[in-house]
Structure 1
Amino acid sequence: MLQAPDRASFRWLATSITISTMFMSLLFVVPAVQAAARPPVSPPPETSPTPAPTYPLTPNSLQIPVLYVAVIFFVLDFALWALPGARLVIAPFKLLTIGWHELCHMLVALLTGGEIISVSIDPNNGGCTRVEGGTPAAILSAGYIGSTLFGAGLILGGFDILAAKICSFVIAAGLAIPLILVRDKLTIILTVFYEGLLVGFWFIDHGSALRWYCLFVGIMNVFFALWDYLDDAYFKKANDSDCTQYSLLYPKTKPNHWALVWVTFEIIIFIGFILLGIAELKRTEDQMYSEAASFLPTR
């Protein structure tokens, strides 16, 4: 038989429920108050994306067009040098190229104790340096080596306006000096035209157009062994190519063997100086124009 709880029991039960309720309230309310009082957590700082690594031999946006134009100029130089009608148009540049080639023969001939008998340069018949004494192999090699390195230096002008400005003085002298020997009126007129074009390029986009002028002449000189051999093999020019002279110096070889050797050499030098230009003349547009403005600034 159940007994009804007395008043004391009810009082104890009510007190227990009240205390339990207050305790449970503290468990939920206090953490909520603490969370509200805590300062808001700031989002993680935004970090800029890590730039992609750049490599010295990776061309930038200013250098990529140079690579495409170099290929175009090689094809153009080949066509102008080989096509009968077009050959007349570039006669001044051919005289520059052939003249420098013969000058290299002359310098090494003198350095090796040789005596220069005669020198001739002609845009159609090529060049000829007659020497007595000296070291024949060194004298003969000097022509193609000198032409290739000279052209490679001009190619660097294709990567930078300041370099192109400096190279333009060399080209101007190279075009003018052969006029001492030239009597052909058309060649003289074309030389004056190309000199004027060179001067005019100084005033196009602060001299930027000079880069393409230097690149064109540079490629023509770098690959002179190829043009020289083709002139000899297919156009039967009066003066033998150096490849033919090598076959006479070393009778067991043929001109086409030497052409392969020297064209391979030219390709290696060409690629090497292209990579050198990419690595050492890497500029932003602002940097290139700022450096160019420090030397004979133009509009």
Structure 2
Amino acid sequence: MQVGFHEFGHAFAGVLTCARIESISLDPHEGGATRMRGGNPYITLPAGYLGSSLIGAALIACGFDEKASKIASIVVGAFFVVTLFWARRSIISWLLIIGMAGLIVAFWFIADAIALRYLILFIGVMSCMYSVWDIIDDTISRKVNESDASAFAREIGCFPPQLWGVIWLFISVGFFAAGILVGIAAFKKSAAEQRAENETFLNPR
């Protein structure tokens, strides 16, 4: 899931900068890869780490409210459809995404979709944490020879990959914190009020 968000960030940034997305591949052991032609590398290269963090932060904020969690799950479902279009040649991608989609559907029917709120919150936290860990692992501690940061450093030329990794790390942590703060500030309804609103919004029963 988190690898999917990372690659979706690259692909979405590519679309915004007029790139042609050729394929997305997801591998639970080796990570993922997004192949594209064109686009702006200044935007597409950091969009994997930072896009994953931003998506995670948005899901964390939505996880504070039952109705918002339902809306978030629909958006995540749309993300699945788009990712499958780009990754249609990858069997592993199909299996991973279909499995996660099935889990979301199942949680929608558990306890009047209350469980869905905690699933969305969990996915958001994991996405932010994975992004932070991935940045540290790829650019700061393990220093992978070929990573988004090393490619970005070659394009920009201002700083080494490790420093870009530190910059992206601070931004990712900032997104994480912002997701929590936005969730607290935006959703102040009590559990009873949320439950009453939830019962009138796309209730499966």
Task: Tell me how far apart the structure 1 counterparts of residues 11 and 131 of structure 2 sit (CA, whole Å).
Answer: 15
Task: Tell me how far apart the structure 2 counterparts of residues 128 and 192 of structure 1 sit (CA, whole Å).
Answer: 19
Report if aligned partners of 1:225, 1:262 keep a CA contact under 8 Å in 2.
Answer: no
% of aligned pairs identical? 29
Q: Tell me the CA shift for residue 97 of structure 1.
A: 1.3
Aligned-partner residue type, residue 258 of structure 1: W
Report if aligned partners of 1:102, 1:127 keep a CA contact under 8 Å in 2.
Answer: no
- The residue correspondences of 1:197-216 to structure 2 (distance < 5 A) are 197-216=103-122
Task: Tell me how far apart the structure 2 counterparts of residues 245 and 274 of structure 1 sit (CA, whole Å).
Answer: 31
Question: 2:34 matched to 1:128?
Answer: yes
1:152 aligns with 57
Query: Is the radius of gyration larger for structure 1 or structure 2?
Result: 1
Report if aligned partners of 1:243, 1:258 keep a CA contact under 8 Å in 2.
Answer: yes
1:271 aligns with 177
- Tell me, which stretches of 5 or more residues in structure 2 are unaligned? none
- The residue correspondences of 1:84-123 to structure 2 (distance < 5 A) are 93-110=1-18, 115-116=19-20, 118-123=22-27
Report if aligned partners of 1:157, 1:163 keep a CA contact under 8 Å in 2.
Answer: yes
TM-score, with normalisation over the residues of structure 2? 0.80
Report if aligned partners of 1:95, 1:175 keep a CA contact under 8 Å in 2.
Answer: no
Question: 2:140 matched to 1:140?
Answer: no
2:188 aligns with 282
Change (3 A) 1:192 1:141: closer
Residues 228-268 of structure 1: per-residue CA shift (max 9 Å, x gap): 4325764959xx43212222123452222111111111111
**Selected match of 2:160 from 249, 254, 264:** 254
Question: 2:149 matched to 1:243?
Answer: yes
Q: Tell me the CA shift for residue 117 of structure 1.
A: 6.9
SS in 2 for 1:181: coil
Task: Tell me how far apart the structure 1 counterparts of residues 196 and 52 of structure 2 sit (CA, whole Å).
Answer: 32
TM-score, with normalisation over the residues of structure 1? 0.57
Alpha carbon RMSD of aligned pairs, Å?
2.8
Q: Tell me the CA shift for residue 225 of structure 1.
A: 4.1
Q: Tell me the CA shift for residue 122 of structure 1.
A: 2.6
Aligned-partner residue type, residue 214 of structure 1: I
Q: Tell me the CA shift for residue 172 of structure 1.
A: 2.5
Task: Tell me how far apart the structure 1 counterparts of residues 149 and 131 of structure 2 sit (CA, whole Å).
Answer: 8
Change (3 A) 1:188 1:146: closer
- Tell me, which stretches of 5 or more residues in structure 1 are unaligned? 1-92
Task: Tell me how far apart the structure 1 counterparts of residues 171 and 183 of structure 2 sit (CA, whole Å).
Answer: 18
Higher RCO structure (Cα 8 Å, ≥6 apart): 2
Aligned-partner residue type, residue 297 of structure 1: N
2:198 aligns with 292
Question: 2:128 matched to 1:222?
Answer: yes
